[in-house]
Amino acid sequence: MAYPQFHSVQHTLSLVCYALGRGLIDSSRWDIVVSTMSNDVEVRTNVLKSLLLNSLSLASIYTFDFVLLLIFPHGRNEQQWLHRNIGWFYNILWVLPVVTISLYLNRTWSSTIASRTFALQHGSRNHHHTPEQASYGGMLTAIATSAYRAIMVCTSVAVPFLLRMLPIPYAGEVAGVLLFCWVDAYVMLVFVWIAKGMSLSQRVRHLEDRWAYYLAFGLPSTVLCTWSSSLASAAIFALVFPAYIIMATHARPVPLDPYHPVASTRYSDKNTTDTETYPSPFIPIRLPVFAPVLWLNDRIIELLNIVAGGSTGAQIRQERMRSPELDRTESGTQGVEMNALPRRTVAGQRVTIVGTRKFE
C-alpha cells in the first residue's frame, strides 16, 4: 500500500509566498492598463468615461468639507455643527444620487471593458442558447441565478463590515480587511470566470483553492478603500475598478493544481519524478474564505423560501446546491479552456489532508 508524501512546512510556505508575490505583481501591472487603453479605442473610451464620472463622484463627496474649510478656516466648532446638521442634506440630495448613478453606469462600462479586453486577449467566444435555456424553466433558472448572485454581492460586502465590528481588539478589523481582499478579487475576476463558463460553485472553489494569490491580488484595492467613509470607498473602488478588470484579464493565478503545486511554479525540478507529493498538511490547501458569506446566503434563501411559500426560494437555492464538475480548473497556458484534473488516489482510496477538505 502506497502512502502520500508531503512537502515540508518550509517548502509549502515558500510556495504560499510565491503565490502572494505573483498576486501582488499581477495586481500592479499598470503597464498593461496603459498599453491596452492605447491600442484599443473602445477600451480607452469606456475607461475615460468611467474615470470622469467617478472623479466627479469623489470630488462631490469632499466638496462640502472643502467649502466649510474656506468659510470657517479656524472655526472647527462651526464646521462640525454645519457638517452634522446640514451635511446629511447635501449628501442625500447630491452625493448619494451622483454616486448611485456613477456605480450603475460604471457597471455597464466595466462589462464592456471586460468583454473587449477578454476578446483582445483570448478571442471572442460565441454563446448559443439552447432550447432549455429559452424555455420557461430556463428563464426561471436564470432569474434564480441572478437573484442568488445579487444576494451574494450584498452579503459579501456586509460580512466584512460585521467582522470589523467584533469587540475583539484588532482581530475583527484584520479579519474584515482580509475578507475584503478576497471579495475585491472575486468582483474583479468574475467577468473573466463567467466568460470561461465557470459556474458559481466553480468560481468560489477556484478562489478558495488559490487563496494566497487572490489575497494579494485584492490587497491594493482594499488598502485604497478600507479607511475612507462608505461613500468615498465606493467612489474610489469604482474609480480604479476598470483598471483592475484589465489586469484581471491578464492575470495568471497560481498554483494551477493546488493539490500538486510544485509543477506549476518556478520551484519545480526538471529531474523530479515525484507526482504524488502534496503540500504540508499543516498549511491548508483550500481555505473556505466564503463560508460565512454562503452560510448567510443560505439563511436569507431559507427566509425567502418561507415568505414565497416554498417554490421560489427552492428555485433560488438550486444555484447554491448546483456544483457540476467541481474538479475542473483553469488552464495556465491558454487561460480559456477548462481542463479536468485527474483524480489522485492512493490504493484506490480517497486521500484526506489535515487542515484541508477531502480530495476527490
Cβ proximity of 94 and 60 under 8 Å: yes
Q: pLDDT, tens digit, for every residue of 264-311? A: 555 444 444 445 688 888 999 999 998 888 888 778 777 877 776 655
150 burial via Cβ count (<10 Å: 0-12, 13-18, 19+): exposed
Mean pLDDT score across all residues of the chain? 75
C-alpha of 258 from chain center: 18
pTM above 0.85, yes or no: no
At 138 the pLDDT is 54
Q: Are 188 and 245 in contact (CB under 8 A)?
A: yes
Q: Per-residue pLDDT tens for 117-131?
A: 999 887 765 444 444
pLDDT higher than threshold 90 for residue 318: no
For residue 125, how many other CB atoms are within 10 A of its CB? 12
- Lowest-pLDDT range, 14-18, 251-255, 338-342? 338-342
Is 90 a residue whose pLDDT tops 80?
no
DSSP 288-345: -TTHHHHHHHHHHHHHHHHHHTSHHHHHHHHHHH--TTTTEEE-TTTSSSEEEPPPP-
